[in-house]
Amino acid sequence: MLTDLLTRRNLLKCMAGMLCDSLLLGGEAPTWLKSVTSSPGDIPEPKRKLSSLLVDETGEQISNVEQWEKRATELQLAWRQFLKPLDREKRPAHEFEIVSRETVGNVIREKITYLVEEDIRVPAYLLSPKHSKPHQKHPGVVALHPTTSETIEPIAGLSGPPEKQSGLHLAEAGFVVLCPENFLWQNVANYKEAVSTFQVRHPGSLGMSKMLWDAQRAVDILQSVSGVDVEQIGTFGHSLGAKEVLYLMAFDERIKVGVSSEGGIAFDSTNWDAPWYLGQGINDEDFPLNHHQLLALCAPRPFLLMGGESGSGAADGDRSWPYVSEAQSVYELFGKKTSLALFNHRQGHAIPQIARERMVEWLKWGIS
């Protein structure tokens, strides 16, 4: 099993590396790239020591991509054993039903539903550029909403201020965007009910496993849209959605580029130990896994972490640099150190205009 996974992963990584090379040659990198790929120097030490990514289980140094690929496969298996993810072989058909359609400026916004599991239908908004040429293919983005009782309405542009309408903003920039609803609000009274209902169906699986499954189902559906280039899929999320972005990109090689805004990369940055995420097991001082490993599993695909540093609810900032710096050591093996970056806008737990602009620029650079 390990050999099969390693062979497949090597092939996919080689393809991803060649894709990233062509992207860099085909378009200019963001002008601000250098300012977000080097740590500011004097940064806080993480509360939990981060294991070296370039040392394998036997203590041997990892110095090339081939050695890292073996280690990466081992890390992914360890994470899967912890998460107990759902079986992707049991996915429903990649079909959706259109509930409503309207035009918003230069965007067509459709409310759709689809089966996320065999007997569970979920709502989402599908946003597409209005003026598309016949047979034109657009890059796609799975946009994952933050914690809000309005779920997918703000991100799809139906409510809230512009800074919360990221999905609509991305569609206006030329992406086909799918905004799926998180399972924590699907026909339940509260988060704990959502988790317990899920775990009755899937004993032992963590809440984050459900979020990963649902995000991957969103990719399935987005790739089934006729106007989407299936080889150009990215993802964006803020807060709760940013957490999902990290896991989706680490475990799904179809995602070519990601932007994670204010999810809190460190376990102690936010409530990662909540039952709808990872549970109390991560608080064990001997727990062997951490999120710098997931960042490294994204290599060499472009990943931008956006932080607000301070203010109410702020989860990422300079304190996130140790995780980024450690994972950059893996990106360096691919010659792609600048494909993993941290933009600290220092404006709190929000997506200010400069962050929205850089989100679009990063996704365009990394996906097309």
pLDDT at 20: 36
Peptide bond into 322 cis (omega under 30): no
pLDDT at 28: 74
Distance CA(34)–CA(281), nearest Å, equals: 37
Do residues 340 and 331 touch, judged by C-beta distance below 8 A? Answer: yes
Give residue-wise pLDDT tens across range 334-363: 999 999 999 999 999 999 999 999 999 999
pTM of the model: 0.91
301-314: b (≥16 Cβ within 10 Å) or e: bbbbbbbbbeeeeb
Backbone angles phi, psi at 46, to 5 degrees: -65, 150
Question: Residue 268 burial (CB < 10 Å; 0-12/13-18/19+)?
Answer: middle
Instruction: Read off the pLDDT band of 368 (50, 70, 90).
Output: low
Give residue-wise pLDDT tens across range 117-157: 999 999 999 999 998 777 889 999 999 999 999 999 999 99
Torsion of CA 158, 163, 169, 173, to 10 degrees: 170
Do residues 248 and 216 touch, judged by C-beta distance below 8 A? Answer: yes
Give residue-wise pLDDT tens across range 2-49: 344 444 444 444 443 433 333 332 357 899 999 999 988 888 889 899
The stretch 104-110 carries a mean pLDDT of 97
Average pLDDT, the chain: 92
- The beta-strand segments (E) located in the chain are 96-104, 107-117, 120-129, 138-144, 176-180, 228-238, 255-261, 303-307, 340-344
The helix/strand count (H/E) of the chain reads as 10, 9
Show the domain range for 92. Answer: 2-367
Distance CA(110)–CA(133), nearest Å, equals: 19
The per-residue DSSP string of 240-259 comes to HHHHHHHHHHHH-TTEEEEE
Helices (H), 133-239: 152-155, 166-172, 191-201, 207-223
The stretch 211-228 carries a mean pLDDT of 97
Give residue-wise pLDDT tens across range 58-105: 899 999 999 999 999 999 999 999 999 999 999 999 999 999 999 999
pLDDT at 161: 95
Distance CA(16)–CA(281), nearest Å, equals: 33
Give residue-wise pLDDT tens across range 225-240: 999 999 999 999 999 9
DSSP state of 39: -
**Tokens standing for residue 105:** 């400026």
pLDDT at 131: 82
Residue 109's DSSP bridge partners are: 102, 127
Edge-first strand order for the sheet with 120-129 is 96-104, 107-117, 120-129, 176-180, 138-144, 228-238, 255-261, 303-307, 340-344
The stretch 301-311 carries a mean pLDDT of 95
Parallel, antiparallel or unpaired: strands 107-117 and 96-104 = antiparallel
Distance CA(20)–CA(38), nearest Å, equals: 20
Indicate which CATH number applies to the domain containing 249: 3.40.50.1820
**pLDDT over 50 (residue 110):** yes
To the nearest whole percent, how much of the chain has pLDDT over 90? 85
Do residues 257 and 367 touch, judged by C-beta distance below 8 A? Answer: yes
Number of domains present in the structure of the chain: 1
**pLDDT over 50 (residue 268):** yes
The total of other beta-carbon atoms located within 10 Å of residue 96's CB is 21
**pLDDT over 70 (residue 253):** yes
pLDDT at 41: 82
